[in-house]
Chains A and B, each alone.
Chain A
């Protein structure tokens, strides 16, 4: 290990190789609730042996090339916002990409931006905002998520129906691999080639390469936002409305259907609430108004004041207070999301809720639908788990939920990725051969 440390210091400089306990604690976990709980309760906190912070792609490549010689276990750290233990500290060496945080190149005419993997999404958005542009990519974790991490976990944001997920935004990528060195692909307009590397890297979770650069599409910042907040008769009426919206190919930038529980918290409503927003430009105001009136017609229910839309958008990052208060009450919050075909929404939702609530450790369960697609939607569940039983029940709860998703033909992940928590389920849906293919490609690239 000492020899490795010396070699790393030669590559990046002494000050960027961290080996002391205090400096390594930031790499103790991602934002997975059970890891967080064990840490806060001082039951388990571990950290890697070494953290290294390359300042250039060349340095990163050199690091990757020397690692096989030492046969050490390696992890990559972006912003630490993952929730499924894709990153864990049980490694010898963690490569922290935070110094590769540049906004290097912007082709304003083609609306293509080239970013370092360590750039925080929020900083990119602010940089673009000052110039009149936006990525339109606003995940809940926008303040903590890095560009590389967003790609590696298949991120999506609250404006997905207007701007798409990260897979729709990415138009090129650069990666470092131990065996093939640096490979760059793009930026492309459509890139009609075999094995487009940018798409391969979406939700790759570090298996195929360390992301060293990302090309993303950007959009003109909207001039206008038209909004709607509507109380719906029932959750499933709301689902039918969402399906019709996508069927008519009306694409509000934001659409979200809250169940009764979440509606009561955010809107003080006794019925499910559906909110929607349309981004547009002064030049297309008429078109936007037509779409808005179409939406107003489709969304059948009791229309509420638009101010609730802004209140919800402005308060959505205050979740820390909520998590802290529940911690004090002995409740741990976890979240899970599934891609559900429209035809199975009701059956899946009833089953997963029923089966999860059979577990006495789950003290509450709420949900919302926040992403709609032609074939289905993303349903997002928030669970309150009694901390008294969490250590024994945590994986059991996940196993039940994933089992229900697989039995109902749903996606086991919509946008949080696979990590370690969903790895067994990945084996179930992909089979031995599918998982071996992933592992073989990873090995081929030198990981």
Chain B
């Protein structure tokens, strides 16, 4: 299907997917909702909107709009293609983002595994994490199966091991950060180790690139999160980092494994 077809289908829709878009949920900014991104693309020249950089930059390409769409319209793929075109024509700038945070200190995990008598392999994925802005979510949502993503794999691997060993990490209560499907296919595995979450947080923190596009939207997200005082567990290392900058106790599963002493169930 051509980009034109995809966009034309979107713009005659009232926005059925809007309520599912993690960026709209976290910002309440209507121009960032999928249907309005499609409209911005469609009306770009007619309304002299001054380039697509912002509108297509809001999207993390998580694919939730396509899932919610009754006709499965591939808007994320269309946005991705447009981004590539803009990058090739140098209208959109790629900026490297920092490597993922897990490059060392697996001691707790290693000890835990050793105690259980299991063999282990430490996966150093730092090289793989020199992604580029917009690229992080895009790659894992559209190209790689989630469990094949090194970062997510590492999280899942560590938790799966704890579960097999019959160990758990005791938290008084926690919030599960699940704005998109990244990393949570086997959610019960995490519940076995951490217990049942207090609630699910569906607010996306921008997938790593939103701050480059619109600092204002990041302010909106921050104000939505300012009442959280419970531990948040997220599969997104960028969200964890951002939340910690804002004073929220947020961790990826492997960070919790490293920090907390696992105990027998």
Closest to A96 in B: B30
Separation of A31 and B14 alpha carbons in the complex (Å):
6
Which residues of A lie under 8 Å from residue B223 when comparing CB positions? 13, 55
Any A CB within 8 A of the CB of B211: no
Closest to B42 in A: A40
B18 with A144: CB separation less than 8 A? yes
Interface-facing stretch out of B43-51, B117-125, B147-155, B177-185: B43-51
Which residues of B lie under 8 Å from residue A143 when comparing CB positions? 14-19, 68
A320 with B49: CB separation less than 8 A? no
A320 with B216: CB separation less than 8 A? no
Separation of A40 and B7 alpha carbons in the complex (Å):
11
Q: What per-residue 1/0 map shows which CB atoms of A306-341 lie under 8 Å from chain B?
A: 000000000001111101100100000000000000
B→A interface (CB under 8 Å): 8-9, 11-19, 28-31, 33, 36, 39-40, 43, 46-47, 49-50, 54-55, 68-71, 73, 216-217, 219-220, 223
If A15-B216, A26-B33, A144-B14 touch, whether A21 touches B9 (CB-CB below 8 Å) is no
Which residues of A lie under 8 Å from residue B220 when comparing CB positions? 15-16
- The answer, among A21, A53, A80, A96, for a CB contact under 8 Å with B15, is A80
If A320-B9, A323-B12, A327-B12 touch, whether A99 touches B28 (CB-CB below 8 Å) is yes
If A42-B43, A99-B28, A120-B19 touch, whether A25 touches B36 (CB-CB below 8 Å) is yes
A→B interface (CB under 8 Å): 13-16, 21-23, 25-27, 31, 36, 39-40, 42, 45, 53, 55, 79-81, 96, 98-99, 101, 120, 122-123, 141, 143-144, 317-321, 323-324, 327
A98 with B28: CB separation less than 8 A? yes
A320 with B40: CB separation less than 8 A? no
Separation of A120 and B47 alpha carbons in the complex (Å):
30
Separation of A96 and B46 alpha carbons in the complex (Å):
25
Nearest CB of A to B213, in Å: 12
Separation of A15 and B69 alpha carbons in the complex (Å):
29
Separation of A120 and B202 alpha carbons in the complex (Å):
15
A317 with B70: CB separation less than 8 A? yes
B16 with A317: CB separation less than 8 A? yes
If A27-B30, A96-B30, A123-B19 touch, whether A320 touches B12 (CB-CB below 8 Å) is yes
A80 with B70: CB separation less than 8 A? no
If A25-B40, A144-B15, A144-B16 touch, whether A324 touches B8 (CB-CB below 8 Å) is yes
B46 with A122: CB separation less than 8 A? no
Closest to B35 in A: A26
A23 with B31: CB separation less than 8 A? yes
Separation of A279 and B11 alpha carbons in the complex (Å):
36
Closest to B216 in A: A15
Which residues of A lie under 8 Å from residue B71 when comparing CB positions? 318, 320-321
Separation of A39 and B46 alpha carbons in the complex (Å):
11
Closest to B13 in A: A320
B30 with A320: CB separation less than 8 A? no
Nearest CB of A to B65, in Å: 11
Which residues of B lie under 8 Å from residue A23 when comparing CB positions? 29-31
Nearest CB of B to A30, in Å: 9
- The answer, among A15, A21, A98, A122, for a CB contact under 8 Å with B49, is A21
Which residues of B lie under 8 Å from residue A99 when comparing CB positions? 28
A321 with B49: CB separation less than 8 A? no
Closest to B17 in A: A143
Separation of A25 and B30 alpha carbons in the complex (Å):
9
Other A-B contacts than A23-B29, A320-B13, A320-B73, 15 sampled, CB-CB below 8 A, are A15-B219, A21-B47, A21-B49, A22-B31, A23-B30, A26-B30, A26-B36, A31-B14, A53-B28, A79-B14, A120-B18, A120-B19, A143-B15, A144-B15, A320-B16
A40 with B49: CB separation less than 8 A? no
B40 with A80: CB separation less than 8 A? no
- The answer, among B12, B31, B33, B46, for a CB contact under 8 Å with A36, is B12
Separation of A42 and B46 alpha carbons in the complex (Å):
7
If A22-B54, A144-B14, A317-B16 touch, whether A324 touches B9 (CB-CB below 8 Å) is yes
Nearest CB of A to B35, in Å: 8
Nearest CB of B to A257, in Å: 24
A25 with B39: CB separation less than 8 A? yes
Which residues of A lie under 8 Å from residue B39 when comparing CB positions? 25-26
14 A-B pairs with C-beta separation under 8 A: A13-B223, A15-B216, A25-B43, A26-B33, A36-B12, A55-B223, A96-B30, A120-B19, A143-B17, A318-B71, A320-B9, A320-B13, A324-B12, A327-B8
Which residues of B lie under 8 Å from residue A45 when comparing CB positions? 43, 46-47
Which residues of A lie under 8 Å from residue B8 when comparing CB positions? 40, 324, 327
Nearest CB of B to A98, in Å: 5
Which residues of B lie under 8 Å from residue A21 when comparing CB positions? 47, 49
Closest to A315 in B: B70
A318 with B12: CB separation less than 8 A? no
Nearest CB of A to B19, in Å: 4
Nearest CB of A to B103, in Å: 35
A40 with B31: CB separation less than 8 A? no
Closest to B219 in A: A15
Nearest CB of A to B11, in Å: 6
A25 with B12: CB separation less than 8 A? no
Nearest CB of A to B176, in Å: 14
A22 with B40: CB separation less than 8 A? yes
Which residues of A lie under 8 Å from residue B69 when comparing CB positions? 320
Closest to A143 in B: B16
Which residues of A lie under 8 Å from residue B13 when comparing CB positions? 320, 323
Separation of A239 and B30 alpha carbons in the complex (Å):
43
Nearest CB of B to A81, in Å: 5
Which residues of A lie under 8 Å from residue B18 when comparing CB positions? 120, 143-144
Which residues of B lie under 8 Å from residue A319 when comparing CB positions? 70
